[in-house]
């Protein structure tokens, strides 16, 4: 089916990365299922809230990867590997200092969050170590993506998933509970850096050549705006659910159960990410050659839409089976909302693809739209928080608005 939708480079890269990316998704879901069964609803709610911090820390990570991809695509057109090496060195040079600064500034925020959310400060502090991976891993992955080494990129990500799952399960089983899961996440994030030099031999062996990257900061703004809203959408619902527990509106176990619904929705979103990761460098390169990019987005959108529709049909037909088989009978309460959450995350997947396309062809994404949406979604979720079903409807409404904003962003 995918071969019919895609052609040539897009087909080969898309199919390869789609398989590898969904193998990573499988490992991630096995990790989530394992943690749900080993920790139980209460501790899972704590872990899910802690992982929201990881998602927001990943905003600059994804931004750096997209920036590295965009510039690498430009240099790769003329096989200017020396300039790619220069770009990579620049990211590494500034990375350590900036990461250390961010970590120090984040410490008081960790302390405040620990009080508001009633979670140990040390869990936030330990998870904060992920900050030091912000420049190292994504910059090299961005170079692989920009050079269209999709298979190597997929292997790199799968390696991360294997290490995270293996380490987390072992440490949870020996009694570390949530701390064990967090430790597994941290080790998994840093592990891929060990195997990154192999697919980048041409870059590493090249003589460094100065490149003009003066516009990198102007490019970074729209990327950060898009990543902010994407990360916010997929995480804020669990975060607000935790706040509702803290102020007595929801039971703590309900937060953990809703986190499972959120994870099922993310299965759809993460299942489509490979399409966007392949589309982005191809669309950017095509744009750099002053060729039309319309067919790239049409084919990519069709593929993502097809995956979303099939996923929603499966969820609609077998909600109890999906929840019971993956997470156990303790979580069957949320079977009635996973279709709604699936719709919301399908809209997120389509919005993400459109935003990525817009960035690849230098469309302007305005901060005012992003901030307006963030405020809108937060208010809607509090308004719809009377019960968990209404809460899921609030997510659908948020998805519709975000999709509309994405369409506006590429038309201008």
Secondary structure letter of residue 172 according to DSSP: I
- For residue 402, is pLDDT > 90? yes
Between residues 392 and 326, the one the model is more confident about: 392
Per residue in 334-343, pLDDT (tens digit) is 888 999 999 9
Between CA 131 and CA 406 the distance in angstroms is 29
Residues 96-125 pLDDT 10s: 777 788 888 888 988 888 888 888 888 888
Confidence of residue 2 (pLDDT cuts 50, 70, 90): very low
Q: Quick one: tokens of 28?
A: 């991630």
pLDDT tens, position by position, 251-287:
777 777 888 888 889 889 988 888 888 888 888 878 8
CB burial of residue 94 (10 Å; 0-12, 13-18, 19+)? exposed
**CA nearest to 185, candidates 362, 28, 346:** 28
Q: Pick the residue with more confidence: 193 or 402?
A: 402
What number is the average pLDDT over the span 127-142? 79
Q: Is the dihedral of CA 91, 95, 96, 98 positive or negative?
A: positive
Q: What is the dihedral of CA 53, 56, 60, 63, to 10 degrees?
A: 140
Within 10 angstroms of residue 290's Cβ, the number of other Cβ atoms is: 6
Our count of domains for the chain comes to 1
Q: What is the C-alpha separation between 136 and 331, in angstroms, rounded?
A: 38
Contact (CB, 8 A) for 139 and 85: no
Segments forming the whole domain that contains residue 251: 2-411
């Amino acid at each position: 089916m995918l071969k019919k939708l895609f052609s040539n480079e897009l087909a080969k890269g898309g199919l390869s990365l789609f398989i590898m990316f969904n193998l990573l998704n499988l490992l991630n879901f096995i990790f989530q299922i394992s943690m749900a069964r080993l920790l139980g609803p209460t501790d899972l709610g704590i872990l899910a809230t802690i992982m929201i911090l990881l998602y927001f820390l990943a905003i600059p990570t994804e931004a750096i990867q997209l920036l590295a991809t965009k510039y690498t695509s430009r240099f790769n057109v003329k096989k200017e590997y020396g300039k790619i090496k220069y770009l990579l060195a620049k990211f590494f040079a500034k990375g350590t200092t900036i990461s250390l600064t961010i970590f120090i500034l984040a410490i008081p925020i960790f302390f405040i969050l620990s009080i508001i959310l009633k979670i140990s400060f040390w869990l936030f502090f330990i998870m904060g170590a992920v900050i030091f991976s912000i420049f190292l891993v994504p910059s090299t992955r961005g170079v692989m993506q920009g050079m269209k080494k999709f298979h190597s990129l997929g292997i790199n990500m799968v390696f991360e998933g294997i290490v995270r799952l293996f380490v987390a399960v072992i440490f949870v089983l020996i009694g570390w509970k949530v701390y064990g899961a967090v430790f597994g996440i941290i080790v998994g994030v840093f592990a891929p850096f060990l195997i990154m030099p192999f697919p980048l031999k041409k870059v590493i062996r090249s003589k460094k050549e100065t490149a003009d990257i003066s516009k990198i900061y102007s490019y970074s703004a729209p990327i950060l705006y898009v990543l902010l809203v994407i990360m916010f959408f997929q995480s804020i619902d669990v975060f607000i659910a935790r706040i509702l527990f803290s102020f007595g509106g929801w039971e703590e176990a309900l937060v953990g159960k809703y986190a499972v619904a959120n994870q099922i929705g993310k299965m759809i979103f993460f299942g489509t990410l490979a399409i966007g990761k392949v589309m982005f460098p191809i669309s950017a390169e095509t744009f750099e050659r002053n060729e039309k990019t319309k067919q790239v987005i049409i084919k990519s959108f069709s593929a993502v839409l097809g995956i979303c529709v099939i996923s929603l049909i499966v969820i609609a037909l077998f909600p109890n089976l999906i929840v019971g088989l993956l997470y156990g009978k303790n979580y069957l309460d949320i079977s009635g909302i996973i279709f709604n959450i699936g719709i919301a995350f399908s809209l997120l997947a389509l919005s993400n693809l459109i935003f990525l396309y817009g960035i690849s062809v230098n469309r302007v994404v305005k901060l005012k739209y992003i901030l307006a949406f963030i405020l809108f979604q937060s208010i809607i979720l509090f308004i719809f928080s009377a019960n968990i079903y209404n809460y899921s409807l609030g997510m659908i409404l948020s998805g519709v608005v975000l999709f509309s904003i994405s369409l506006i962003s590429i038309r201008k």
